[in-house]
Amino acid sequence: MKICVLVKEVPDAAVEKRIDLSTGRMDRSGEKNLNPYDTHAIEAAMQIKEGGAVPVEEIVAVTMGPDSAVRALHKAVSLGADRSVHLSDEVVAGSDVAATGYALAKTLQRESPDLVLLGQQSDDGECYTIGAVVAEHLGMPSLTQVIKMDVAPESLRCERQAEYGYDTVEVRLPAVISVGDAINEPRYPSLKAIMGAKKKPLETVTAADVEIDPGKVGGDNSAAHWIAAKAPPAKAAGEIIEDEDTGETVERIVAWLDERKLI
Amino acid sequence: MADILVYALHYEGAINKNSLGAVSEGARLAAELGGEAHAILLGTDVPDELAASLGNYGAKKVLVAEGPEGLAQPLVDAMAKAIDDGGYSYALFGGGLLGFEIGAGLAARLGAGVVMEVTNVRAEDGELIAERPILGDSAISEIRYRSSVGIVIGRLNAFEIAETGAGAAPVEQLEFELSPHAGGATMVTRGEQRGADVDIEGADILVAGGRGLGKAEGFQLCEDLAAAFGGNSAVAATRAVVDAGWYPYAAQIGQTGKTVSPKLYLAAGISGAIQHKVGMQASENIVAINKDANAPIFEFSDLGVVGDLNKILPKLTEAVKAKKGS
Ligand SMILES: Cc1cc2nc3c(=O)[nH]c(=O)nc-3n(C[C@H](O)[C@H](O)[C@H](O)COP(=O)(O)OP(=O)(O)OC[C@H]3O[C@@H](n4cnc5c(N)ncnc54)[C@H](O)[C@@H]3O)c2cc1C
Ligand SMILES: Nc1ncnc2c1ncn2[C@@H]1O[C@H](COP(=O)(O)O)[C@@H](O)[C@H]1O
């Protein structure tokens, strides 16, 4: 079995994310990191490989992004991927969800994976849906928010929470699965793995290399067209208590509740 | 002509509330665009009366397709066929989970633009503009569609339910072909309720616990506080702790759980993710205890307490008991 894991570079959680109000694009300056949700997808791939129910030949990390995105690939490799593929091309910059999913699907097609894994969401884009777009282009069954996955040679048995409770779904391979963050506890990379990550094969491909139709990608060709941004309606700031003396904190909470006749 | 096709999710003989909101919203927008809103349901033996009832929310016609329930890809096939036959300009979904998957798959199939987490839609010059909050709701972006079909996926509870009193809508069967990949997923069991059947919707006071409780036993702190409040109080939870098996699914608030609006919602160890916020933001008074001063929940709480819940909750429970006893 060959597993491809889609990973993304996102602004570090500690960086305050901003958009450029004139273009609607994210301000991507500042510290960046591998999307934390994607570490669960890599861990899920590692657990399949180590689980032994089906032999896994290879785990390949795939990303689309600017030059700096190679760092996300290095991180993915340090967490267990065998090699990585970087789709890097000016023409895909500014793609919306649908165009990003199309470009990633074209990149994946060359790899012919048996299983494509994604994270539940990107920390910056928060669309939750790239998996569904990729699956449609690849003509594969798919499911998002999966928190348990049992692998058999031809299929997966997946569990996830949907609108009415937990569903168990049998999915035929090849398939595209986005995993929820409850699926596992990602491991930390060893120092050796971190040092060795740069030595693992990393292939950089252009849009032409993977036969992406340039008319279907990039900001200008994206069908969801950003026109403006505005501030959300102002909301009165709440009161804040910093807990120093807990006895006093609790007194203040009780007084606050009492004033509102909540006790 | 600008007709809107609205997906209606149904389960065990009832239409999902967010779908009723979406149908109402579709009807409102279609009227502004000079078109009609039609709804679509997919399932095995969907009762005609259930489908027709969407007329009360403004659907002028309801399409019913036969296929496997609870999965997104069969709906991509069915809606693509309906759009092909009916020339719809927009497809609209209420908040939840399936709608996200269907809408995104449909966007890929049709080469259409898609916007998710939409909180507001307006008609302008004969087209729809979708508003979507981004970056933890710190800004709202406005998006236009440059494709012949635009796909709008609402945020949970974004669209208000409006009954028009129009009565039953005509129901039509939709014939479509299931694509091979849509046939690649099979529902084994659906809607399993993990944990006890607790009621949080009727409570006036909810003490909600999240991952910050540290372990399943941490919920005892929430239960003690709820018991101290007494009366009509209950304990609620986030998806993170329900997925972890710490608390019953029936107590979960949010996008794939319950929507609540108690007099008091007190959160302990909850970060305040959007998917949780959408299920509780209508609460009258919101109090949050979190050790991280930058936790998003403080952006929408009326009283925020920065501190360790393990220190605060036991003392708060005692103080509430004392107050009630006085
Ligand atoms: C499609 C989809 C649907 C979803 N549906 C839902 C849903 O219905 N409901 C829902 O809740 N979520 C839902 N989620 C998940 C949601 O995005 C968050 O992951 C989840 O709400 C986080 O739960 P949490 O706040 O318990 O955990 P975390 O985000 O991990 O937050 C834990 C918090 O506890 C604080 N903390 C830790 N220790 C202490 C301490 N000792 N004292 C005080 N504070 C402490 C931390 O600072 C942190 O802020 C959904 C996600 C997706 C993608
Ligand atoms: N540019 C990208 N390159 C590779 N994978 C991506 C990219 N954007 C999103 N993904 C994957 O899609 C998942 C969901 O992202 P999103 O739909 O943006 O919330 C992420 O967790 C990643 O696995």
Q: Which pLDDT tens digit goes with each residue over B234-262?
A: 999 999 999 999 999 999 999 999 999 99
Distance CA A215, CA A221 (A): 6
d(CA B171, CA B41): 10
What is the ipTM, given to two decimal places? 0.97
* Nearest ligand, measured from the Cα of A7: 2
Q: Is A16 helix (H, G, I), strand (E, B) or coil?
A: coil
With beta carbons under 8 A apart, name residues in chain A contacting B79: none
Q: Please, which pLDDT band fits residue A23 given cuts at 50, 70 and 90? A: low
Give the nearest chain A residue to B197 (CA atoms): A165
Task: Compute the distance between CA of residue B132 and CA of residue B116 in angstroms, rounded to an integer.
Answer: 7
Distance of alpha carbon A162 from alpha carbon B18, whole angstroms = 14
Is the Cβ pair B104, A98 closer than 8 Å? yes
**What tokens does A8 get?**
């993304």
Q: What is the enclosing helix (H) or strand (E) of A43?
A: helix A36-51
Residue A24 has a pLDDT of 67
Tens digits of residue pLDDT in B112-164: 999 999 999 999 999 999 999 998 898 999 999 999 999 999 999 999 999 99
pLDDT of residue A2: 98
Rounded mean pLDDT, A195-215: 97
Burial class (CB in 10 A: 0-12, 13-18, 19+), B103: buried
Residues from chain A contacting residue B80 (CB–CB below 8 Å): none
Distance separating alpha carbons of residues A132 and A137, to the nearest angstrom? 9
Closest Cα partner for B199 from B260, B268, B279, B276?
Answer: B260
Residue A49 has pLDDT above 90, yes or no: yes
Query: What are the backbone angles phi and psi of residue B211, rounded to the nearest 5°?
Result: -55, -25
Is the per-residue pLDDT at B1 higher than 70? no
Q: Using CA atoms, how far apart are residues B305 and A241, in angstroms rounded to an integer? A: 5
**More confidently predicted of A25 and B90:** B90
Question: Residues A29-36: what's their mean pLDDT?
Answer: 88
Report residue B180 as tokens: 């091979």
Shortest-distance atom of ligand 1 to CA B292: 47
Tell me how far the alpha carbon of residue A8 lies from the centroid of ligand 2, in angstroms. 6
- DSSP secondary structure code for residue A90 in this structure: G
- Answer for the pair B210, B242: CB distance below 8 angstroms, yes or no: no
Confidence (pTM) = 0.96
For A184, phi then psi, to 5°, come to -165, 175
User: What's the rounded Cα separation, in Å, for the pair B234 and B292?
Assistant: 25
> What's the rounded mean pLDDT across residues A161-168?
98
What average pLDDT score do residues A167-196 get? Answer: 96
β A2-6/A9-11 pair status: unpaired
Contact A232 B105 (CB under 8 A): no
Question: Which one of B111, B179, B286 has the shortest CB-CB distance to A223?
Answer: B111
Q: Which residues are within 8 A (CB) of B216 and not within 5 positions of it... i.e. 6 or more apart? A: B241, B244, B245, B246, B247
Pocket of ligand 2 (CB under 6 A): A 6-8, 35, 37-38, 41, 63-65, 100, 104, 118-119, 121-122, 125-130
Spatial distance between the Cα atoms of A32 and A9, rounded to a whole number of angstroms? 7
Are the beta carbons of A254 and B319 separated by less than 8 Å? yes
Burial of residue A244 (number of CB atoms within 10 Å: 0-12, 13-18, 19+): exposed
Q: Is B212 in the pocket of ligand 1 (CB under 6 A)?
A: yes
- Closest chain A C-alpha to B190 CA, distance in angstroms: 4
| Residue A231 burial (CB count, 10 A) | 9
pLDDT at A45 over 70: yes
Residue with token string 């916007």: B115
CB–CB of B187 and A169 under 8 A?
yes
